Structure 1
Amino acid sequence: MKKVLLSEKIDDVGIKLLQDNEFTVTVSPSTDAETMKKEIRDAYAVIMRSSALTKDIIDAGKELKIISRNGTGINNVDVNAATANHVLVAKVNGANAYAVAEYVISTMLLLSRRLLTSDHLLHEKKNELKGLSLPGFSTEYGLNGHEIKGKTLAILGLGHIGQVLAKLAQAFGMNVIGYDPYLKTAPVPLLGSLTEIYKQADFISVNMPLTSETRDMISAKEMALMKPTTCIINSARGGIINEQDLATALNNDKLGGAAIDSFSPEPPQPDNPLFSSKHTLLTTHLAGTTLEANQALGIGAAQAIIDFSNGKMPQFPVNPEVFKKGNSL
């Protein structure tokens, strides 16, 4: 039976799908390089989540034929090394689009309505509330916030997630604009200039992959173009936004708030400046990991391996030229 190595456990439905198709499934006891190199030696396939699959790990996979990414982003996989070793890389597109889009909507509401601040202050000052008017308390501490209706949301990256997010935001009565250099048409107005995007947006949602072009794409220079009330939501990858510059802008009231779900590096270091920045919501890379999304991702990642083993191109190949070399069997 062919071995499928999981760098981290995927949803049980994906594991069962592999086992029902006569694969043995092994979960690596750790994601560190030495453990992965040992575990991958006799693996036919590996399913990756967010940990790194570097060249030296891939080189150690002497029987390795396919790497299946339990998600969309592939910045944690050395695709060039995989291609050099004639190993196909596949990913899962769109399975968690609603989960991520809902995360963006949720965080916009939390930031705009100042709900977390209200919760924290209510707990902190619970012994001082007797005889107070709660609406007066809200006014005193600036907790009333704003509606998102009528505000402008700029979506950077209009793939599956961005397009679902656009529909949800429009249902809330938001004006939606987008930026995606790889699209000619989109369901929302596309602006060719990021400068204009930054000047107009009340909310900016980052939904782009981390590449050499997008690394540090939003830093102090770009933030200076934004409104002092603008909120930034990053549910994509750490490294796209300069974290130190973002913390500085937030602490100096140059931005209205931020919701950050991915960090650079990850997990974030204890001295990450965002831990102490104002109006900042930090989450644990959970935007796309609802129970429903995890099931869909697990099925998609498993199905890519099953298809490949049966001589069929997986639905979302990253380096399809490898498949043409006849390495599926």
Structure 2
Amino acid sequence: MTRIVFLDRGTIGPSVRLTGPAAPHELVLYERTSPGEVIERLAGAEIAITNKVPLRRETLERLPELRFITVAATGYDVIDVETCRARGVTVSNVRGYAVNTVPEHTIALMLALRRGLPGYRQDVLNGEWARSGQFCFFTHPINDLAGSRLGIIGEGSIGQAVARLAQAFGMETMFAAHKGVDGLGPLYTPFDEVLERADVITLHAPLTPRTRDTLAMPEFRRMKRRPIIINTARGGLVNEADAVAALETGLISGLGFDVLTTEPPAADNPIQRVASRPDVILTPHVAWASAEAQEAVWKQVVDSIDAYLAGEPVRVL
């Protein structure tokens, strides 16, 4: 009987019923797994399911029976794919499940920050409306999305979906050419031009050595319109210390982050330090997590296991 171990079941909401594959199997669930527990828990397992638990070379080399890893996410930076390839371990991920949930979360962050909603909500709770003596008051900037320019870094399915929603709000959208790359064609606006013209910049790219620190202080200094920066993709795409410095010195006008380099954040994370500001929204990596999207993730995980056991693996990395 095939032994399947899910190392971090807690990354899928409790409302999702975890059905198993069609073939005879033993499915073992762990709410969370620390690095020191991985080898013991995967001992004897042919299939591992992970969302954020890393599987690196030194771990993989001690798991001779492991033959298949299915990542319950699109990003697979937690997996040493090269070592898996060398050891004959097939790796699969899930794709396309987030084309509604992440774009909607992205637009929600844009709307909230452009309209000053976090600040106004806090002011109302603090009694400012009652003390104002009139029907409204103006303590935070309010700007429309309509007529503003959106720079999108990442032209995949999620970036494209964000563009469609933004255009429905009347935004002008620009897909940034890859940093340091010219001649990509008419879809793209030169990277530096996006930095200079955008009122909002949103990131929808994978985290790789090439994309790490896509936005850091050199880029923030080129931003002429003090844009809002949205990151619902991967922590590390934006240098967090530089982003906070840019916010505090007026180079940008807001941060909407759903992802951080280290999750959960350490106490000294610079974004955490400014999270209570009215021009900052920090959400706990839940842009992907609508009820519909979570169901779709698990269905793809099970489908990938069924396909592997049938000898025809899908979405192979």
Asked if these proteins are the same fold (TM beyond 0.5), I'd say yes
| Pair 1:230-2:227 in alignment | yes
Kept after mapping to 1: 8 A contact 2:48/2:68 = yes
| Pair 1:156-2:158 in alignment | no
Counterpart among 85, 88, 113 of residue 86 in structure 1: 88
- Structure 1 unpaired stretches of 5+: 319-329
Counterpart among 140, 143, 152 of residue 142 in structure 1: 140
Kept after mapping to 2: 8 A contact 1:28/1:36 = no
1:153–1:131 Cα change, 3 Å: closer
1:153–1:34 Cα change, 3 Å: same
**What displacement does 1:13 show?**
5.8
SS in 2 for 1:221: helix
1:258–1:130 Cα change, 3 Å: closer
Q: Deviations over 1:297-317 (max 9, x none)?
A: 111112111101101131x11
**What displacement does 1:225 show?**
0.9
The aligned residue for residue 211 of structure 1 is 208
**What displacement does 1:130 show?**
4.6
- Letter matched to residue 99 of structure 2: A
Q: Deviations over 1:56-80 (max 9, x none)?
A: 2222322111111111111111111
Kept after mapping to 1: 8 A contact 2:196/2:225 = no
- Structure 2 unpaired stretches of 5+: none
SS in 2 for 1:205: strand
Worse-matched range after superposition: 93-102 or 22-31:
22-31
- How far apart in 1 are the matches of 2:313 and 2:169? 40
The aligned residue for residue 290 of structure 2 is 290
The aligned residue for residue 107 of structure 2 is 105
- How far apart in 1 are the matches of 2:298 and 2:185? 31
Give the helix-richer structure, 1 or 2. 1
The aligned residue for residue 166 of structure 2 is 169
Counterpart among 24, 34, 41 of residue 39 in structure 1: 41
The aligned residue for residue 264 of structure 1 is 261
- How far apart in 2 are the matches of 1:130 and 1:256? 27
Counterpart among 195, 198, 206 of residue 198 in structure 1: 195
**What displacement does 1:17 show?**
3.6
The aligned residue for residue 133 of structure 2 is 132
Structure-1-length-normalised TM-score: 0.88
Structure-to-structure mapping, 1:305-324, within 5 angstroms = 305-314=305-314, 316-318=315-317
- How far apart in 2 are the matches of 1:206 and 1:115? 22
Question: What is the number of residues matched between the two proteins?
Answer: 308
1:88–1:185 Cα change, 3 Å: farther
Structure-2-length-normalised TM-score: 0.91
- Extract structure 1 runs of 4+ deviating beyond 6 A: none
The aligned residue for residue 24 of structure 1 is 26
Identity of aligned residues (%): 28
The aligned residue for residue 123 of structure 2 is 121
- How far apart in 2 are the matches of 1:185 and 1:16? 45
Q: Deviations over 1:10-68 (max 9, x none)?
A: 467673142x4322211135421221110111111111112322222222322111111
The aligned residue for residue 240 of structure 1 is 237
| Pair 1:6-2:6 in alignment | yes
Worse-matched range after superposition: 6-15 or 281-290:
6-15
Calculate the aligned-residue CA RMSD, in Å: 2.0
